[in-house]
Structure 1
């Protein structure tokens, strides 16, 4: 059994080729515009951008997916929005109602989020980070309770989605058009 497990770790395929420069540029443009728009809108609501509720670390990972790999299943709108919102709700709920060690709460938040995203067909890897942020976040994050699900999570994902819809469909490459599906 151990030998089989280790033999599977060798892999078998070769690394795929580098993407063409045009795809790299479109990915850069989308990520830049999406993250910058969130930061700008955030600056209207907060004095200190570093304390801003709009900037959630997991949005950076979402940007990689929706702008860098817009055709991936994890990148589709239902996954982006559903994955973040479901995971934020789970993280906030656990943080609010369970008095456990932070390490245990974090593990529960991520693992329950994965299960919920699987059941709802909204698997979005950055969602796990969103759940974890709800647990390990600052006192400000915790004091917002379920409002964290709306702002920054829902609002931020909608901003990222709007930019993805525009930028990914400006390309003439039909393999870049976004989304592949909504529901």
Structure 2
């Protein structure tokens, strides 16, 4: 079967290097804070969905899904939805988990904040265990919001160092 479009062109070595540097520094910043500053406080600032956010905001910086509105809004809204689904349906995890993800996708579409890692952020709120559940709605602020803001700050710095990269494409 013939493909309708050609595969994307290879990215330059420079693009690979800057994506790598951004991801390294962005995840390092949230990991450092989580493991060295927040350790023992009951808070965390690093969640698995940030790995996917790093792919977008450091490796696909022109994508609409990687823009600040999507990064911050997608994580915070999805976190609120995930916490709500867990609180309402924690006795029915088989229902709470898919409801959180599906609702997060719908709300991100409606608010123009679609950020695929947000789906994981909502799911983590449901399945994340006692540490995450104990945070309640604070989960939307720390780690979801604060971690995303830290990664955004790194993206704003790193993605604008080379002359051939510019981030963001838009704010709102």
Q: Normalising TM by the smaller chain, what interval?
A: over 0.9
The aligned counterpart of 1:33 is: 25
CA distance in 1, matches of 2:47, 2:90: 24
CA distance in 1, matches of 2:22, 2:43: 21
Q: Which is higher, the Rg of structure 1 or of structure 2? A: 1
| Displacement after TM superposition at 1:14 (Å) | 2.6
**What's the CA shift string for 1:85-135, capped at 9, x where partnerless?**
000000001101224421221110000000000010000000000000000
Q: How many residues align?
A: 171
1:163 aligns with 2:154: yes
CA distance in 2, matches of 1:177, 1:127: 24
* Correspondence 1:12-91 to 2 at 5 A: 12-42=4-34, 43-47=36-40, 53-91=44-82
Give the TM-score, by structure 2 length.
0.94
Q: Is the 8 A contact 2:74 2:113 kept in 1?
A: yes
Aligned Cα RMSD in Å? 1.7
| Residue ranges of structure 1 left out of the alignment (5+ in a row) | 1-6
- Structure 1 residues 143 and 47, CA, compared in 2 at 3 Å: closer, same or farther? closer
| Displacement after TM superposition at 1:138 (Å) | 1.1
- Structure 1 residues 105 and 11, CA, compared in 2 at 3 Å: closer, same or farther? farther
SS in 1 for 2:9: coil
The aligned counterpart of 1:131 is: 122
| Residue ranges of structure 2 left out of the alignment (5+ in a row) | none
1:181 aligns with 2:135: no
